[in-house]
Amino acid sequence: MVFLYSIALHLYGLLLQLVAPLVPKAAQWVEGRRGLLAHIQQALHAETAPIVWFHCASLGEFEQGRPVMEAYMARHPHHKLVLTFFSPSGYEIRKNWSGADYVFYLPLDTAENARLFLAAVKPRLAVFVKYEFWYHFLTELERRQVPTICVSAIFRPEQSFFRPWGGFFRRTLGRFTHIFTQNASSVELLRAVGLTRASVAGDTRFDTVVRTASVPPKPLPLIEAFTDDWSPVFIIGSSWPEDLPALTPLFRQYADHLRFVVAPHEINETNLRLVEEALPGKVVRFSRAHLATVAEARLLLIDNVGMLSQLYRFGHFAYVGGAFGKGLHNTLEAAAFGLPLFFGPTYHKFQEAQDLVDLGCAFPIKTADELLTAFGPLYHREEARLAVQDISLDYVHDHSGATGKIMSWLERDVVQP
């Protein structure tokens, strides 16, 4: 099975090289790994401080792991943090993050790459965030007796780890020193297949969003000017083109009553024009807006990356994109401000989304009519919206604290000052 796994990864790398001329993200993946190990070796050859290694698949996992990284470095300021990403979506946006001392792509998971990478990094602790169970890296970490944990993991019965033929994948998980899960059902699944080094800590994203909601906000004069009247504000976060058919009738029916702020997931001219076409003549792009005139528009289109988590504080309602496609984006950023949430039908893999639906704080929809039907009572009855706000805020605060549990375990069992 190890042989087949290695062959599959080599074929994956070859496929990305073949499609790189046509697919920009594949090109970034390939170019980012050109001469990568030599670059890592050169960057770290003179480093003498203790190193902790955090690995994230992409940007979402980075945000999930960020509170643990920051807590670790606050307690161990003389250590150095090496941060790796598998995907360009994470690396390109966070390659200059000041919280890490070194940021790299992760080399492809081969036995040789794992050996050379770990020989260069020499971590005293490795932390994998949520996913990314790379066999050769985990095997080499175990061989070197490096404590290795996974944080904010979540498992489902249909995954390969829990199938009769999943022995190889279970052995991969067995390389971890400890797995911290988001919920109790994940621990039960692991223990049912003999993986007992696991416990519930919760989802570290709750700690991130609670902190974001509680710290003094950065000044955003354009957003303040756009929302500075009595109109309720509807934030659409991480939208995809697939979300627009459900949103467009809402835009047009409530254009004179709401202000809309739309932050597409991917910022490109095609996506921006699709939003502009959904509410013709009443849209202004953030990059083209002016303080004196921005309020004349009814829809402010965010054409940059990195603002979304700060935008929800201006909202009264929120729609989170992605659930008409591959999967729902981050709902907790909006829930931390108590906003009633709307999203598409593909959300069941996300525990927090399911919880918010069960609590009556989030409303999954399949059509534009369903969105209008769900939105109407909350818009027309302020007491209904405020009731959702209270329940949502309680839920987010009650589920925070995962970072503290993980850090307590590390300080007790693994890391010495």
State whether residue 199 is helix, strand or coil. Answer: strand
Type of residue found at 209: V
Q: How far does Cα 37 stand from its chain's mean position?
A: 27
pTM of the full structure? 0.84
Q: For residue 119, which amino acid is it?
A: A
Distance between CA 379 and CA 246 in Å, rounded?
Answer: 17
Give per-residue burial for 300-314: e unless 16+ CB within 10 Å, then b: bbbbeeeebbebbbb
Sheet-wide strand order for 317-320: 283-285, 299-301, 259-264, 233-239, 317-320, 341-343, 362-364
pLDDT at 279: 93
Output the CA angle 136-142-143, nearest 5 degrees. Answer: 85
Q: What is the pLDDT of residue 415?
A: 66
Amino acid at 127: V
Which pLDDT belongs to residue 193?
95
Percent of the chain past pLDDT 90, that is, above it, reads 85
What is the pLDDT at residue 383? Answer: 97
- Predicted confidence at residue 116, as pLDDT, reads 97
Residue ranges in the chain whose pLDDT is less than 70: 415-417
Rounded mean pLDDT of the chain?
Answer: 94
Question: Contact, 344 vs 366, CB < 8 A?
Answer: yes
Helix (H, G, I), strand (E, B) or coil at 310: helix
| pLDDT given for residue 286 in this prediction | 97
Task: Provide the sign of the torsion angle of the four alpha carbons 73, 77, 78, 84, taken in this order.
Answer: positive
- Say which amino acid occupies 108: L
From residue 174, alpha-carbon distances to 115, 195, 205 in Å are 19, 6, 25
- pLDDT of res. 344: 97
